[in-house]
Structures are given as C-alpha cells and as structure tokens.
Structure 1
Amino acid sequence: MQISQKPIYINPFTDFGFKLLFGTEANKDLLIDFLNQLLKEEAGTIIHISYLNKEQKGKNKEARTSVYDIYCENQEGERFIVEIQKAKQDFFMDRMLYYITFPIQEQAKKGEWNYELKAVYSIAILDFTLPTSDKNDQQVVTTGKLYDISRNKIMSNKLTFYYLEMPKFGKEWQECHTHFEKWLYLFKNLNQLHEMPVGLVDRKLKKFLKEAKIANLNNEEYTMYEESLKRYNDLKNSLDTAREEGREEGREEGREEGREEGKKERNIEIARNLKKAGIALEVIISSTGLSKKEIETL
C-alpha cells in the first residue's frame, strides 16, 4: 500500500498562499520577476514596485467596494492589478473590467489636467479555462487591449488585460525551456512537489520555493494557511461533487422517486455552497440539474 506524502509547499491558489508569495514587502522581488516575464518588456523593465491600497471604494455609499488581491505601481507610476481566481464566476470578465476603472479614475487630478494616463494592467491567474476558450486551444496566456477593428490595429496601450489559464499548461519540468515556463510550472504544481526540481539554479525561483515551504510558517501563519486551504478544498470538492452528481443523475434515470428526492436535496446543498462561492449560474445549473429559479431562491 502506497502512503501519500504530505505536501511540503503551500498551495498558491489559496488566498493566503498567493498573498504570502507575491503580496508582501519581503517577496516583492518575486512579483517583479514574475511580472517582467509575463509582460515581456511591454511595461518596460520593472525595477521597483510599491503596494497600494487594495480596497477601492465607490463614489457614494450605494457604490460597491472592490478589494484586489494585489494592487501595486512601478517606478513609472503604471498600475498593476493581480488577481487569483479559483473558479468560474458569473460575469467574471465584467468584474475585471469594473476593477480596472478604479486605477484609471484615481489618476484624475484637480485643476488643469490634460487627461494623460499611466498604463494600467489587469492580470488574472485562473484555476479554470475561460468560457470563450476553444477546447483545442492550448494557449495559456490571453492578452486583451483596446482594439481598432476597422483598421486591424491596437488603438491604445493604456489598458491591458492578461488572463493566465493555468489548466492549459501541461509541460513537465524537463520541457520548460524559458524562465516564464518555469514560473508557470512551479505555480501550477507547487503543492504537489516533494523536492526541488532537478537543475533549478535560478535564484528567484529558489527563493520562491523557500518562501513556499510549509515548515517555514510560524504558528499564526500556519493556522491562517490551513483555514485558507480548507476554503479552497471545500470549493473544489463542491465543484467535483456537483460534476459527479450531474453525471450520476444521467445514469440514475428511472430509479425510484425517493432516491431521486434525496439526490435533489444533496444537489440543493451543493448548489447553495457553489452560489455562496460566486460560481457562475450556468455552471451550477449544468452541475446540479436545478433550475435557474430554484437556484435563485436559495
């Protein structure tokens, strides 16, 4: 009987893990390195970043407050929103578009101002694939800008969206030839690694692994990580159970009514958990078999 090994590295898709590795002063060099690899000098080489207030309040008390995972600016005053997204969500693209309006508005200056803006970058690291993705398309990074359709060219470089669909990254460590590919590999496989990858000599990636060691957490950090990991696992388990229940429902047609009722009660509980987690309505419907009206009343 094979005994499974306990993880030695934190899961970066947890809220705690992501913010520890990329959202702290001690590790801002890791974020800088990752952004430089992703942006490929589009924003110029980032030398320094400053973390900004992650909570953005609306213009009045009725307006919604937005809270970013990471919000920072570089030495040129360009802004970066970096988000981790664990599951599909209703109007996810709309939410990212809404988020990016705050770094634009806060650049407005009183008095004389010629409306010149610093560039804003929205970066979302996804633990799922976008609804718009083709099943045969294995491109991990999707980039969006303001585009002139009639002239087939970029209209403005002041607004850029990056979506990293991590499930699409399937390379093994030995197949990763660029620094960015190694970043993607470690991010996707971190909590499944039980030793440092063979041949890893890069100083930044070594630091990333060192900071990610569960054994290096103090008691308070460990408690916070365990709570964050539990929320992540509960969400994943709810999604997996919902998908399995959906498949089982197809196989269970014709079974007695009492068992169907019991299954529906389980689906209702699953749907309630998924709804609390902000999962897309159509995903809940397809996973549980409940109607839109039933889910909206939960």
Structure 2
Amino acid sequence: MRAKYVNPFTDFGFKKIFGEEASKPQLIDFLNALLPPINKIKDLSFKNTEQLGQTEADRKAIYDIYCEAENGQKFIVELQKAKQNYFRERTIYYSTFPIREQAEKGNWNYNLSAVFCIGILDFTFDDYLASEHKDEVLHTIKLKNQHGKVFYDKLTYIYLEMPNFRKSEQELETRLDKWLYFIKNLEDFQQIPSIFKETVFVEAFEKAAIANFRQAELDSYEASLKIFRDNKAVFDYAQETAYNEGRTAGIQDGRIEGIKEGIKEGIKEGLQAGIKEGLEQGRKNAVIEMAKAMKTKGLPAQTIAELTGLSEQEINQI
C-alpha cells in the first residue's frame, strides 16, 4: 500500500513537519511536551543553521533545526537516522556554537541563556546508557559533580531512542507519548487516529500529506526518501556483516581457546602423571638399594623379599 504521509525520518519529512515557518505551532508543542514546565516556550524564531558553523566543514554537518525562544533559550534539534562514530562528541561540539554566539563585544558579564541539544535517534545507544537503561526512551543529561548535583543547569542534552518507544495507541498517556507515537508511525497511517483530533496534530498531518505536495516538493521528498532508504540498507548490511563476522570470529576464537585449554589440561595431567610415575620410580629405586645392602650383608633372598616386597627373582637379578 502506497504511503499517504511522509516518512519523518527523512530530512525533508522532518523539516516539513517541524522546521518551516508555518510549522512553529508543531515545534513549540513538541518542545513543550519534552521540556520541564519551567522552560515552557511561548514563541520562537528559526535561526539560520549556517550561523552555527565557522568553517565550510562545520556547515556541512549542522543540525536540522536551530531556533531561539522568546526568552533567549536556544534549541538545536536533529533527527539522527543512523549511528555515527563519536556521535556524543559531535553533539557536545555543536552545543558550543549557540553558547559562543552569545558573547558580546565590550564589557560583558557572561550571563548565558540556556541551550538545549535534542537528538531524535532512530537507533539505540550501545554504551553505558543502553546497558543501564536499555528500555528507556528519554535520556536527559546535564553537567553534574561527583555527587550527582547539577553544577550548571543551562546546558541540557536530550536524547530520544525511538526504537525503545513501543506503546500502542491505547497506552499513550502524556503529550510526549502522542508526539513520539506520531513520529514513529506517521508513514504507516492511512487515516488520522482519533487521538490526534487537536488542531496542532491535524495541521501536522496536513503538512505531512504527500498528496498536498507541489511537484518540486514531491521531487525533493522522493530524493530524500531514496537517500534514507539507501543509508538504511547500507547500515543494515553493515550490522548484519559485523554480526556474521563477529560470530565467525567468535567460533574461531572459541576453537583456539578450546585447543589452548586442551593443551593446558594435557600438560596438567601429564605433570600429575609424571610426578606420580617419578615418585613410584623413586620408591622402587630406594627399595632396590635397600635390597642390595641386605644382600651384601648375606641375608637370604626369601628374607629380603619379605622385607622389601620384591620377588626372589628380582632379588637374584640385583
């Protein structure tokens, strides 16, 4: 069945729903569902993302949305479709741009506005976040000291692990639940679910409806969708290849370790057998030397046999 709505995990789809001037109500509602009440947004303005980068290389890897609230709070929002090396480091690096741009010429007291970096991830972390909180969707991170006390509360990193969001329509409880359900399932909807009757969601569906696109928009979306599918295919192939190679290497390493353990056990058993045999041979040699001394003293072979346990034949051969 042909999709009725855009895939929000494409660059075009995400920006169509949240990143255009006409999409402010949707972005504001989504951010307010995500943020604490104290940071509630009344209005915002979009800023040119190229203002974040100081070099051409910077501007090629900028976040999808950069905006500023009426109270000066700054928001960087990105939809991250696949894992990248040093993803967290890149997040931290780009969070410095809206901090640095607040510097004023002349005398300045360094009073900064809050900065929020929000990553909507179409994958899960495979590090400590995943191991400790593998089923959680929302991760909110601040700068804290060794006692867990917030040292600076104006820099916040928020990550949403979308694969961990598994709620059905009947299980949705919060405003954020609705938005996550909307983002994750939008491309599969054939009609607007009953939970999305509010204006802000109805308008989001209208913006996402492929039938409403002009030809230029449709061409842009198709190109964006192709890139998304190609990247996903490459990523899935890389994952499968890594798994198979890891499995093969694991089997090979297991065999090698098995051989090593076998050799180790063999050496151990050999040593034990050798020690036992050595002790037996040593005891036998001592008995023979004792028999020699008795024989020198002229004791009869029968008596020597009784005292040493050797046979008379063995004694006569000494």
Deviation at 1:64, TM superposition (A): 3.8
Partner of 1:169: 165
Partner of 1:82: 77
Partner of 1:219: 215
Secondary structure class of the residue paired with 1:100 = helix
Secondary structure class of the residue paired with 2:194 = coil
Secondary structure class of the residue paired with 1:77 = coil
The 2-side partners of 1:250 and 1:113 are apart by 55
The counterpart of 1:200, out of the listed 192, 196, 200, is 196
Deviation at 1:243, TM superposition (A): 3.2
Secondary structure class of the residue paired with 1:55 = helix
Partner of 2:36: 40
Task: Name the % identity.
Answer: 47
- State how 1:43-122 maps to structure 2 within 5 Å: 43=39, 45-56=40-51, 64-65=58-59, 67-122=62-117
Deviation at 1:35, TM superposition (A): 0.2
The 1-side partners of 2:57 and 2:185 are apart by 39
**8 Å contact from structure 1 (residues 8, 213) kept in 2:** yes
**8 Å contact from structure 2 (residues 52, 94) kept in 1:** no
The 1-side partners of 2:243 and 2:139 are apart by 31
The 2-side partners of 1:136 and 1:120 are apart by 25
**8 Å contact from structure 1 (residues 57, 63) kept in 2:** no
Deviation at 1:58, TM superposition (A): 5.3
- The amino acid that maps onto 1:157 is D
1:63-120 Cα distance to aligned partner (Å, 9 max, x none):
7445221000001011000011000000000000010101000000011111000000
The 2-side partners of 1:251 and 1:116 are apart by 53
Pairwise CA RMSD: 2.1
Figure out how many residues of one structure are paired with residues of the other and give that number: 246
1:131-189 Cα distance to aligned partner (Å, 9 max, x none):
22128631101011111224x31111110000000000000111112221011001011
Unpaired segments ≥5 residues, structure 1? 254-298
**8 Å contact from structure 2 (residues 5, 187) kept in 1:** yes
The 2-side partners of 1:170 and 1:19 are apart by 24
Partner of 1:155: 151
For normalisation by structure 2, the TM-score amounts to 0.73
Decide whether aligned partners of structure 1 residues 251 and 177 sit closer, same or farther in structure 2, where only a CA change above 3 A counts: closer
